[in-house]
Amino acid sequence: MELDIKVPQHVTIIMDGNGRWAKMRGEERLFGHKAGTDSVRACVEYAVEKGIRYLSLFAFSEENWERPAAEVEGLMQLMLKAILEETPLFQKNGIRFRVIGDFSRLSDKLKCEIDECMKLTEQNGVLDLIVFLSYSGKWDILQAVNRYIADNKDDLRPITADTISSYLSTAGIPDPDLLVRTSGEQRISNYMLWQTAYTEYYFTEVLWPDFRKPHFQAAIEAFSRRDRRFGKVK
């Protein structure tokens, strides 16, 4: 019998462990990244089934650009292939696709496909699927401050927390209620540093290519048992 659980509005996942999963099988790291796409599909299906409104995935960090060129190129090709294949399913299932990050190092073809998919799905309202690509939390805060300065250079005033939030790349998206990280690592790796100030963290030993609906369910159940006080006394 399924437990009566509190469904978070926004779940974000740091998808970790693809390389180790592949190494355990004597394969190249890209083999693990390819296998991880099945986990993405399973989590999107679960989010739709459970009524989670926002599902965000940390796909590629700014720091990941320092990985071997062949792995980086393979990852970008996987992203391009996934967008092309999944866009019709996004439309069918009411999923709004969004990508957040520094696009300056992405190929023109990938940027074009991202833009096209986002435009085609922007009216969908069942689930916002947000992919963080070439992203870092420090970059996000810095670009927010710089944008604020550029917009208000003739009349600079003290910056408030709300000001920063309104200039972040995630403006208009609720802060995550739950952050899940796979593979046993217990850090957030420069991811949504501002937005996760009061997010509940859930760490699992499961490697990302093995992460499926029962593992997602376990994370949601753990979230349901948390007493969220946001620094206040209840």
Rounded to an integer, what distance in angstroms lies between the CA atom of residue 231 and that of residue 144?
25
Count the Cβ atoms, other than its own, within 10 Å of residue 105. 12
172: left (phi over 0), alpha (psi -120 to 50) or beta: left
Count the Cβ atoms, other than its own, within 10 Å of residue 97. 22
Catalytic residue among 4, 64, 146, 177: 64
User: What is the number of alpha carbons within 13 Å of residue 115 lying toward its C-beta?
Assistant: 8
The closest alpha carbon to 95, from 87, 104, 103, belongs to 87
Catalytic residue among 4, 16, 102, 115: 16
Q: Which residues pair with 98 in a beta bridge?
A: 130
What would the two tokens of residue 168 be?
């972040």
Is residue 18 annotated as a catalytic residue, yes or no?
no
Is residue 190 annotated as a catalytic residue, yes or no?
no
Count the Cβ atoms, other than its own, within 10 Å of residue 27. 14
Q: Please check whether residue 231 is in contact with residue 10, taking contact to mean a CB–CB distance below 8 angstroms.
A: no
Rounded to an integer, what distance in angstroms lies between the CA atom of residue 11 and that of residue 104?
27
Residues identified as active-site: 16, 64
